[in-house]
Chains A and B, each alone.
Chain A
Amino acid sequence: MVFGTGGGAVAALGDVTLDVARGEFAALIGPSGCGKSTLLRLIADVLKPTGGTIEVRGGPPMRARLAREFGFVFQHAGLLPWRDALANVSLPLEVGAWGRRHVPPHRPEELLELVGLKGFTHAFPRQLSGGMQQRVSIARALVTGPPILLMDEPFGALDEITRDHLNQELLRIWAATGTTIIFVTHSIPEAVYLSNRVFVFAPRPGRVTAEVRIDLPSPRDPAVKDTPEFGRYTAALRRALAASE
């Protein structure tokens, strides 16, 4: 993936080969500017690759986008301030051609309940805390029942307490929905705690330098963070990140 042309061109992503299996929770980790968010946007068909191929469920990303095969969660919730929580969640059902051709698999109210915001259906974004806004945004991404969830540092702007709590919630939602999750982060413990596999990225040009399988028991419990295995995984990732600099 190259941004710009000629002398000013920047290779944001070099050769990246990465397979994510159905139902998997894959984390992409790396320093800022390593292209992990770019990769997520290539998968989401927000950006077009300058070379190479990307397949989402056996087809080009554009087909997956039109078929609503993935939901996207942004770093800042990206809610529309003039819509209340419920209206924000139902936005994907109103916009685009998909909603006219499909019966929505979930009611927006159910999704708000799933993310633990049952009593906040008519609260406006500015009345919600950062963590609650991100919950709304997760509900919005899931309302069309996508088999894949793409998350771009969704908890990066939150304080640690809220972040730990939302990690727990995300694992619960993952178990409840069975979606494949590709999760961009720059927190090592978060990557280890949440995922089955971690892809370590290095910058200039962005590439995958290591792949670490996390074989911690599922469903995971916060207590797992105190185990020696957890410590070994975080240490291994730290070494992999240091080596990739």
Chain B
Amino acid sequence: MIATAPAKSVATGGAVPAPPTRRTAGAILLRRLLLPLLVIALLIVAWDVAIRLLGIPAYVIPAPAAVGQALVKERARLLENAIPTILESLGGFALGNLVAIAGAIAFVHNKTLERALYPVAVAVRTLPIVAIAPVFVLMLGNGYAPKIAIAALITFFPTLVNMVEGLESADPQAMELMHVLSASKTEAFRYVRWPSSLPYLFSAMRIASTSSVLGALVAEWIGTNKGLGYLIVLTTYDFRTALLYAAMVVTSAIALAFFFLVSVLEWLLVRWER
């Protein structure tokens, strides 16, 4: 909402500018929720029609109804495998973001450190995650540790890059003001740099929320016997395609839920951007 009330009306005791007319909640719901749901429904119908018309065998692509059945019938198994994946994704998300935020803060305050380590971070980023996964399993064993490490690694980079940019996006005049006010470095950080970086942090975390699930999933491809990643590999080899698809649906739902959570958090914490 941007008020364009001229300054003149202020001196004469002008009223607070009226908020713009709000769209009804129903209209928002229709556009934001109903439309994408409709598209998804249409895609499912198209999928069903296509496999019938083209005669695709169920072990290659199952019918939507078969996937639905697998979701219901195998729900205990799906849930049992979803829990480790959720924990690994969350752990990796938290670890990756914390390290990235700490790194960005260090970089902004120490340019030498940034020049020394930033290229290393970029180099690590270019290593394919599928290739690093076995290395981590070798180093960290078969437990949660290698999965969390891989999910953390995949979330680390976008947050680091965005956070450095965000902390440096602080308005130079606001930084000059902090100097004029004889603010300490900590105060300048708390009052100006940190809040300036929040919109950047959240756009990075929205990316990280879904990629952390991907990281956990890839890590589960090797050296483990639980998790949705394991289930996906297993069902692929066994040609249990309906369950494979069900596992994919659950994975996707988890990633969407994380994305939604981050968006809600952003909505609550970054109010001034609206």
**A residues apposed to B, CB below 8 Å:** 44-46, 65-66, 68, 70, 72, 74-76, 78, 80-82, 91-92, 94-98, 116-120, 123-129, 131-132, 135, 161-162, 165-166, 169
Evaluate whether A126 and B272 lie within 8 angstroms (CB atoms) in the complex, with A78-B173, A91-B191, A119-B13 already known.
yes
A88 to chain B, nearest CB (A): 10
Given A95-B191, A126-B1, A161-B8, 16 other A-B residues pairs in contact with their CB atoms under 8 A: A65-B180, A74-B177, A80-B174, A80-B191, A81-B272, A82-B272, A92-B181, A95-B181, A96-B182, A96-B183, A119-B15, A119-B16, A120-B16, A124-B272, A127-B2, A127-B17
Evaluate whether A162 and B6 lie within 8 angstroms (CB atoms) in the complex, with A80-B192, A95-B181 already known.
yes
- Report yes or no: A123 in contact with B173, Cβ–Cβ below 8 A: no
- Report yes or no: A162 in contact with B7, Cβ–Cβ below 8 A: yes
**B residues apposed to A, CB below 8 Å:** 1-8, 10-11, 13-17, 171, 173-174, 176-184, 187, 191-192, 195, 271-273
Evaluate whether A166 and B173 lie within 8 angstroms (CB atoms) in the complex, with A82-B272, A96-B187, A119-B16 already known.
no
Q: Which residues of chain A are within 8 angstroms of B15 by Cβ–Cβ distance?
A: 119
Report 19 cross-chain contacts, Cβ distance below 8 Å, ordered by A residue. Answer: A44-B180, A46-B179, A65-B182, A72-B176, A82-B271, A92-B181, A95-B181, A95-B191, A96-B183, A96-B187, A98-B182, A117-B10, A119-B13, A119-B14, A127-B17, A129-B3, A129-B4, A129-B5, A162-B7
Q: Which residues of chain B are within 8 angstroms of A94 by Cβ–Cβ distance?
A: 191
Q: Which residues of chain A are within 8 angstroms of B7 by Cβ–Cβ distance?
A: 129, 131-132, 135, 162, 165-166
Bound Cα distance from A66 to B2, whole angstroms: 36
Q: Which residues of chain A are within 8 angstroms of B173 by Cβ–Cβ distance?
A: 74-76, 78
From B14, which residue of chain A is reached at the shortest CB distance?
A119
- Report yes or no: B6 in contact with A127, Cβ–Cβ below 8 A: no
Q: Which residues of chain A are within 8 angstroms of B192 by Cβ–Cβ distance?
A: 80
Q: Which residues of chain A are within 8 angstroms of B171 by Cβ–Cβ distance?
A: 78
B57 to chain A, nearest CB (A): 58
From B7, which residue of chain A is reached at the shortest CB distance?
A131
Bound Cα distance from A120 to B9, whole angstroms: 12
Q: Which residues of chain A are within 8 angstroms of B14 by Cβ–Cβ distance?
A: 119
Q: Which residues of chain A are within 8 angstroms of B11 by Cβ–Cβ distance?
A: 116, 165, 169
From B178, which residue of chain A is reached at the shortest CB distance?
A95
A159 to chain B, nearest CB (A): 9
Q: Which residues of chain A are within 8 angstroms of B273 by Cβ–Cβ distance?
A: 81
Closest 6 CB pairs of A and B: A78-B173, A131-B7, A96-B182, A82-B272, A95-B183, A74-B173
B192 to chain A, nearest CB (A): 7
Bound Cα distance from A94 to B166, whole angstroms: 24
Bound Cα distance from A181 to B183, whole angstroms: 23
From A126, which residue of chain B is reached at the shortest CB distance?
B2
Bound Cα distance from A82 to B270, whole angstroms: 8
Bound Cα distance from A78 to B179, whole angstroms: 13
A109 to chain B, nearest CB (A): 16
From B195, which residue of chain A is reached at the shortest CB distance?
A82
Bound Cα distance from A70 to B179, whole angstroms: 13
- Report yes or no: A128 in contact with B3, Cβ–Cβ below 8 A: yes
B176 to chain A, nearest CB (A): 6
Bound Cα distance from A125 to B171, whole angstroms: 14
A62 to chain B, nearest CB (A): 9
From A131, which residue of chain B is reached at the shortest CB distance?
B7
Q: Which residues of chain B are within 8 angstroms of A132 by Cβ–Cβ distance?
A: 5, 7, 10
Q: Which residues of chain B are within 8 angstroms of A169 by Cβ–Cβ distance?
A: 11
From A122, which residue of chain B is reached at the shortest CB distance?
B16
A66 to chain B, nearest CB (A): 5
Evaluate whether A116 and B195 lie within 8 angstroms (CB atoms) in the complex, with A124-B272, A127-B17, A128-B3 already known.
no
B80 to chain A, nearest CB (A): 44
Q: Which residues of chain A are within 8 angstroms of B17 by Cβ–Cβ distance?
A: 127
A163 to chain B, nearest CB (A): 10
- Report yes or no: A80 in contact with B195, Cβ–Cβ below 8 A: yes
A85 to chain B, nearest CB (A): 12
Q: Which residues of chain A are within 8 angstroms of B3 by Cβ–Cβ distance?
A: 123, 127-129
From A80, which residue of chain B is reached at the shortest CB distance?
B174
- Report yes or no: A72 in contact with B177, Cβ–Cβ below 8 A: yes
Bound Cα distance from A196 to B58, whole angstroms: 90
Q: Which residues of chain A are within 8 angstroms of B182 by Cβ–Cβ distance?
A: 65-66, 68, 96-98
Bound Cα distance from A91 to B184, whole angstroms: 14
- Report yes or no: B176 in contact with A91, Cβ–Cβ below 8 A: no
Q: Which residues of chain A are within 8 angstroms of B181 by Cβ–Cβ distance?
A: 68, 91-92, 95-96, 98
B22 to chain A, nearest CB (A): 16
Q: Which residues of chain B are within 8 angstroms of A97 by Cβ–Cβ distance?
A: 182
Instruction: Output the residue of B13, B171, B181 with the most chain A CB within 10 A.
Output: B181
From A84, which residue of chain B is reached at the shortest CB distance?
B272
From B198, which residue of chain A is reached at the shortest CB distance?
A82
